[in-house]
A and B are shown apart, each in its own frame.
Chain A
């Protein structure tokens, strides 16, 4: 069995109130492992408002400030300004928002924070919908997916629009670091967190956070689905450091998205044509990403030849 290199310290405790198999809960656990206890989180209205447990308890071993759903970017600018004014050193300031609180209602404050070059990390944990309110569509819901506000019926066939490209929006602001993270790949996840932790300036994580009740899959399949998402190109893993793209997991040929689609009830109504439409989007996204990696590769630096990624075994219980 491969040896995990993740930090041993736990800053997220048992007793939290996440659903079984919650990708957002795994993401928080891994994030805090990489960041350590000198971290202050600002959390808007989202699943994590509830997961962190009600007053007077907390499931987190760090300081947490609640903020309204649209204001996370501003909140972390304020926390950083206070930390600087009061002389707090080595403090990680982190906004931890859902996809709605980042890419929809939170977009203005996120843009403001990036433009101001706030020295903080903005995390979007992407469960691809308004899950805390009961599975409504968001800008981050993928094309064709069923939600309670994009039902399937005679005049409606799931979400008719494509997923909003939050990474492109963020990258247009030239952050010092932006990356996609997937808790199904904990070592890649942790490497990115630890790398970003020590970079000064605005940083952004787009985290893939599967939602069993929202996506309609069985809670023990979260990791499997997460791996499939990356290996099919639905959620490629990459990082962009000062404009330079690097794909952090290349698994040769992509698996067909049909496997990913079949694994979730929210795509149950998909026709072969729907799957093909999604496949076409994935293909062009993957090609674009490879192009960006090639185009932004610093001159004179050859592409790293990496050994084939080694699967991390899931301990059997």
Chain B
């Protein structure tokens, strides 16, 4: 009798510490912020307002601008980054190349730097008078660019910065994907006399498709949560809110003016978008395990 009781409670003892923390610091806040999104909570006062917050958000020009900025950034950045990551992964995977481990190490290095440090470093690299980028343009007899002061170039600045930070990360994933394609498939193709280019399009690309989709969706979700770079690199979404992002919007309303209700509603709109993308992500990776 005692034996079976012990056996029954054993798994619960193992999961207990986690689920205590999980319920207090994750599940409860998820529900509370859902509740808050229907109130006009400001600091410690609150009153029920129904769907007013959501109505207001859907007509809030700044919120839409932050969404639009993010969409523009990710439409340019994600394809460019994945293309570069793929090129680098193929290059590092090439067995004829000497010093591959050094190249691999170098390409992965940007993953290690924290977002604050790289934002500070990039703010100097992008400096319009003394930055190295404008210096290179000067050497090429091209006019310098007001990277951070011009609304369009500020977006480009953010795009370049996140591409620098995340290309290596995606290259690691794609490289591992490349290496997981069994050699036997290529050998069979060799016997059939398939050319290198054809092998690439008929074997490599289809085999990598799920990993590509994974990288794409993860990058989109990551970009939707962009915060540190516009906070530090472009002075909190400047100029003219050209680099305002949804998370910056939430931060400003929640922790600079303490409109908890309104900010919670905005957070839930963002969550809904991320949830839909994550659901797509699961559907895509169903081929694997879960």
Partners in one complex: no
Partner-A contacts on B (CB < 8 A)? none
A residues with a Cβ closer than 8 A to B are none
